[in-house]
Chain A
């Protein structure tokens, strides 16, 4: 079981329960309760999205720090080493998340753009907003699992 599996099962369980109640409200014409459960699903999406994205975020911080340490210790040419020496070796050190990401995947490439889009959504939610764009959690979870495997040193 990987680090997303447990959360994935729990997320889908809750979403299916809420959507089933939302459907029951439509069946009975209870529009206020329908809206309430539609909103509950949105908040559940937001919570699990941030929760799961934070795991990818940690992975990117760890792997980028690992790469920086590796370059610092293995490069012998001072010219090549100099550019890595100015970067911090610790995952929690101050270095913008997208700069860390660009060390692991091509800037402007599909994966870079996808993680950047997720990061924008994460920031919007984390600062009290909601999703900027619509998401599909099953799609997001598949992508997070894939990105977790490919974004490495």
Chain B
């Protein structure tokens, strides 16, 4: 990963963000594949166009949103919020009926992601985004 900030560094960070999101979505789909009534869809997008992208004249990017359906009803949506986060390397909100799960990648830039989740019931300390949390997400809906 490059350290000097220029257009190619920004593009590399965006590429890396998309790869990390893709891996996360695949992992979530894999965990939920055991449940017959659950369907994951990536038909919606959000736009990534942050301050640094504007400053270094990098075009906006479409970033996929992951929607989770249970018995054909949407129960959760993984919405990427931003890449350049103070104290983290990207933020995703998992929106649900009971509120937002705020997910941040706490790993150093260029390292394997370390996703931490602040749940609607406990925003005071982060938990690991693991299979039990994903199952909890769909089972409570």
Residues of chain A whose beta carbon lies under 8 Å from any beta carbon of chain B = 8, 12, 15-17, 19-20, 22-24, 26-27, 41, 114, 117-118, 121, 132-143
Q: Is B50 a contact partner of A12 (Cβ separation < 8 A)?
A: no
Q: Is A134 a contact partner of B84 (Cβ separation < 8 A)?
A: yes
Give the bracket for the number of chain B residues in contact with chain A: 20 to 34
Stretch with Cβ within 8 A of A (4 or more), from B21-29, B97-105, B129-137: B97-105
In whole angstroms, how far apart are the Cα atoms of A20 and B85 in the complex?
A: 23
Q: Is A20 a contact partner of B82 (Cβ separation < 8 A)?
A: no
In whole angstroms, how far apart are the Cα atoms of A28 and B99 in the complex?
A: 16
For B98, the chain A residues whose CB sits under 8 A away are 16, 20
For B51, the chain A residues whose CB sits under 8 A away are 132-133
Q: Is A134 a contact partner of B83 (Cβ separation < 8 A)?
A: yes
With A134-B84, A143-B87 already in contact, the answer to whether A15 and B99 are too (CB < 8 A) is: yes
In whole angstroms, how far apart are the Cα atoms of A136 and B100 in the complex?
A: 12
Stretch with Cβ within 8 A of A (4 or more), from B3-11, B34-42, B56-64, B118-126: B118-126
Q: Which of B83, B86, B99 is close to A20, meaning CB atoms less than 8 Å apart? A: B99
For B118, the chain A residues whose CB sits under 8 A away are 136, 138-139
Most chain B CB inside 10 Å of its own CB: which residue of A20, A114, A134, A140: A134
The minimal Cβ–Cβ distance linking B40 to chain A, given in whole angstroms, is 15
In whole angstroms, how far apart are the Cα atoms of A80 and B22 in the complex?
A: 58
CB-CB nearest in chain B for A20: B99
- The reply on B96 being an interface residue by CB < 8 A is yes
In whole angstroms, how far apart are the Cα atoms of A114 and B87 in the complex?
A: 8
CB-CB nearest in chain B for A138: B118
Q: Is B126 a contact partner of A138 (Cβ separation < 8 A)?
A: yes
With A15-B100, A23-B77 already in contact, the answer to whether A134 and B87 are too (CB < 8 A) is: no
Identify 19 residue pairs between A and B in the complex whose beta-carbon atoms are under 8 Å apart, listed by A's number.
A8-B124, A12-B120, A12-B123, A16-B98, A16-B100, A20-B97, A27-B73, A114-B86, A121-B86, A133-B50, A134-B83, A136-B85, A136-B104, A137-B102, A138-B118, A138-B123, A138-B124, A139-B87, A139-B88
- The reply on B74 being an interface residue by CB < 8 A is yes
Q: Which 8 A-B pairs have the closest CB atoms?
A: A134-B82, A16-B99, A19-B100, A138-B118, A23-B95, A134-B85, A138-B123, A12-B123
Q: Is B100 a contact partner of A134 (Cβ separation < 8 A)?
A: no
The minimal Cβ–Cβ distance linking B44 to chain A, given in whole angstroms, is 8
